[in-house]
Structure 1
Amino acid sequence: MCTELKCIFFVKFWETRGPEIRAQAPSGFISDEMFKSFDYKDISPKDVLCYRIIKFVYYDLSVVGFPIQKRDLSKYESERGVIRFNTCFVFNAEADTTVYECVIKKLELCFVRMEEESSFISNLNDSQMQAIISRIFQGLKSDGFVQMVLPDLTSLALKPAVKSSSSKLKVLLSDVPTLTCSPVNLLRGHWDLISVRVIKLINGLRTVKEIITVTSAEEALVLSCLKNLLYSKLIVMLPSFRFSDLYILTSLFNSFLSDQNLQQKCFDAVRVNYNHSVTIEHVSKVFSLLSNHIPLKKVAHEFADILDLRRLVQFGVRHGILSKIHKYPCLVNKLPFLEQIEKKILETAPLTASKVDLSATNFPGFKYPDNKGPPGIDKGFAKSTSISTSSSTMRQLPPMPLPSPVLGSNTLPRNYPRITIGVIEEEPPTEAEIQRTIQRSETALSKLKMKFFDGSHHTEELACIFDVPLTEFETMLECSPGVVIYMK
């Protein structure tokens, strides 16, 4: 939504005279009647709300300010030791004013500095303030920024913030980031350590998931770094490349045939043998074969000595000439998908509750019967994270040590008796109990994964999310009941 600046006005408050507009641009935009109808608590709030962005709506206008209050009994004795002022920006009521908050705050803090150094606000010259407000309004209104010299000979530069949309950019784990410029030139800039590591790993072959694995950094940090690079147009996101993929031509192919500069860029990017020049006939023939739903592996052998097929496909996808065909699974009937798992759960025996023996102790010197230690302490937990429910394995976890009190005279007060710590006894789980635990975890996992099978996520993305090889994942989907796969 467009944020149009309507007016800027400066207000100074007197403890004895009240508030007055000392300068505004354009002149007369805020009339005396309108200003008197403002709520003074919004323009001059309480002490706790000073030095904060304050916004209020007046009919179809939105007023944003940054109120300032300074106390100095010796300097502002005539005004009861307080000076207050505020510079307000006026917009439409529905405008997004967040981009101007940095401008308002910087301007007000500049006035605070001038007041501390030269008493600029307390000895205010209306003509000087009017010139400052008019210059700022004209610069922001016409040019989008302002750079000027203030009366104390210091420079002031103001520019609204560019609202970043990098958070709205979508980066999939299966995408392949590709640099749009030389990595040597890109690394000359000032980057953080994570960004440097990520930039060095971008080669047009590694997927986002592989980059996260190699960097050993948090997934959120790597994704945020890639979004910033994508927003700055330093990288582009391309689909992963496989020789079994299918592609189709788009309507931009006709523009490619008439654009000689784009053709030359394509020839330079895909040439592998400088003894054989790449022509538009070679590229057009490859594109025509791909448009007939012929896999890349059948085309690669014929043009292996002339051009790099992977680079040609990536060039076509990057410039919108080619579009990759993805497979999208959609769960059209959820009941067969879950009934098959829940049926196996009902066939198994119910789990037995664990028993707790509080009579046992854990002090040094205490001996268990037959010196075998506490029963059940070496039992692990069965855990399954496989997407398939047909087969699962049990992983033995290391035993968890029991807590024991720390001995010593300085540990606890002497009048506190030592507390006996109970020992948890667990019966060995039966095979049916283990299988039932696994089936329950698989049911919860399946319900969680159902939200991904809504037809909006393709198989390459889902295979990366579930950490399953793509071919195995697609084979598993074909055998799943109630799942329909469509291509687009």
Structure 2
Amino acid sequence: MASISENVGEKGQEGPIRCIFFAEFHHIAGPKITCQVPDNFISKDIFDNVSVYIIPKAQLQRSTITITLKDYKILGFPVKIDDKKYARNAFYFNLCFVCDANARTVHYEPVVKKMSDFLMALEIENCFLSASDDKTRLAEMLAQVMQDLNLHKMCTLTEGTMTSHLKVVKLAPEPKPVLDHQVPIFLEDKETFQNDQWDLTTQQVLPYIDGFNHVARIAAAADVENNLVKSCVQNLVYYGVVTLIPIFQYSNVYAVTPKLRQLGDDIKLQERCIAYASKLPRQPASFRDIYRMYSSMTYGITMKDLCQRLNPQNLRINERRLVQFGMIEGLIRRVYNYPVLLPGASCSEEARNNPIYKYFTGTYSLDEICCSTGQSTAQIEDIIERDPNVLMISK
């Protein structure tokens, strides 16, 4: 099985590199391994079965390719160098790492790409790869890389005047499952991300990530199946592109965290906050007003109450972005409401007939219930207010 590994749904534990091999396309013999350490780790029979993925067609060039076999997983980054000096006017090669079949390899992807780029530069500079059938120096490099990465997670390669520093990125824990009512928001400027960096489904989802649309709404707007959207968002969270925040509503209640003190001391954090939360960039809000709004957030005070009292528009504050920044930086937290049907309470006819009561267990927040039932917060709150046997717990 072969796939372009743009997703991080990969399971398994981090494991060592078992082999590194260099394959190229010979204009007569076709794809073949011309150098590997240890020798003969990947047999000719195994290679012949997967060579179509190791030296693939043009559309898969410069894509991360993962091939899972019974015992091994092969990670590569095929490269094509166009030049009339080569037979067939091009030189094709692929540097591949081999790990155990159940090992996770996503953390090796940047290393494989960077080393492939280093070899490509050497080839363009002095035909390092194609000038001779003697691959002794290349074998020394592969052995050094495998040993250093397995032992130290980093390696420095030097050949002539060229140097490359390779480092295995720390394997981040897999993000928690994404829920329908969560809102993805970019951690950096959305315009800095190029669509061609992502798979087609993610490209379809990206335009609807605005820091206000929750996952279920994004799925409907993008016309993408809900679970696919969740997988895409989880992938983006893994790579640190987005984080997840609660749905914004004026009925929401927020409370400050101890980190708000840091905002009072950190000038750079203050500058970022002012730039993010100001209504007009050319007329920034004052930090004093921003801090006052944050410090006024507490139990029992909704955003609507706060806006009526402090009038953020007159203070040149965009209250929605103020909340976004506070959630991203951990300056504030959302206070959720959980409806609970009192145990032993005699259920009214409405309670027996209304399926929404099954959510009144104290484990579902209003946000979750709204997303699951399609009802508004006001509609659910109205049901709760009319039934003395249902209490609302805030936490």
TM-score, with length taken from structure 2: 0.58
Deviation at 1:158, TM superposition (A): 9.6
CA shift, 1:231, in A, is: 1.9
| TM-superposed deviation, 1:464 | 0.3
Looking at structure 2, the residues matched to 135 and 272 of structure 1 have their Cα atoms a distance apart, in angstroms, of 52
When residues 89 and 220 of structure 1 are mapped into structure 2, their CA distance, relative to the original with a 3 A threshold, is closer
Q: 1:305 aligns with which of 302, 314, 320?
A: 314
Q: CA deviation at 1:244?
A: 2.2
Distance 1:464 1:261, change over 3 A: same
Q: Which structure dedicates a bigger proportion of its chain to strand?
A: 2
Q: Deviations over 1:133-170 (max 9, x none)?
A: 45521243223468799xxxxxxx9987976755x433
Q: 2:269 and 2:98 mapped to 1: Cα distance?
A: 50
Residue of structure 2 equivalent to 1:465: 372
Q: Does 1:319 align with 2:329?
A: yes
Query: Deviation string for 1:378-415 (max 9, x for gaps)?
Result: xxxxxxxxx9755xxxxxxxxxxxxxxxxxxxxxxxxx
Contact 2:270-2:287 at 8 Å conserved across structures = yes
Q: 1:455 aligns with which of 362, 365, 372?
A: 362
Shift of 1:319: 1.0
Which residue in 1 is equivalent to 2:64?
none
| Partner amino acid, structure 1, of 2:151 | K
Unaligned runs of 5+ in 1: 10-22, 25-42, 56-63, 67-86, 91-95, 107-119, 150-156, 342-386, 391-441
Q: 1:232 aligned to 2:139?
A: no
Question: Within 5 Å, which residues of 2 pair with 1:178-197?
Answer: 178-197=185-204
SS at match of 2:296: helix
Q: CA deviation at 1:465?
A: 1.1
Matching of residue 262 in structure 1 with residue 283 in structure 2: no
Alpha-carbon deviation of 1:176? 2.4
User: What corresponds to 2:222 in structure 1?
Assistant: 215
CA distance in 2, matches of 1:169, 1:287: 28
Over aligned residues, Cα RMSD in angstroms? Answer: 5.0
Whether the 8 Å contact between 2:99 and 2:105 is mirrored in structure 1 is: no
Length-normalised TM-score, structure 1: 0.49
**217-226 or 301-310, larger mean C-alpha shift:** 301-310
Q: Which one-letter code corresponds to 1:455 in the other structure?
A: G
CA shift for structure 1 position 458: 0.9
Query: What amino acid is the match of 2:321?
Result: R
Deviations, residues 405-449 of structure 1 (Å, cap 9, x unaligned): xxxxxxxxxxxxxxxxxxxxxxxxxxxxxxxxxxxxx7xx67xx8
For residue 34 of structure 2, what is the aligned residue in structure 1?
none
Deviation per CA, 1:341-364, whole angstroms, max 9, x where unpaired?
7xxxxxxxxxxxxxxxxxxxxxxx
Is the 8 Å Cα contact of residues 185 and 245 (structure 2) preserved in structure 1?
yes
Aligned to 1:201, which of 208, 227, 239?
208
What is the 5 A alignment of 1:269-288?
A: 269-272=276-279, 277-288=284-295
Aligned pairs (5 A) from 1:36-435: 97-99=103-105, 133=143, 135-144=145-154, 165-166=173-174, 168-272=175-279, 277-291=284-298, 293-301=300-308, 302-303=310-311, 304-306=313-315, 307-331=317-341, 333=343, 336=346, 390=353
Q: State how far apart, in whole Å, the 1-side matches of 2:73 and 2:360 are.
A: 48
Pair 453,132 (structure 1): closer, same or farther in 2 beyond 3 Å: same
CA distance in 1, matches of 2:107, 2:326: 42
CA distance in structure 1 between the aligned counterparts of 2:197 and 2:282, rounded to whole angstroms: 41
AA aligned to 1:470 is T
Aligned residues: 302
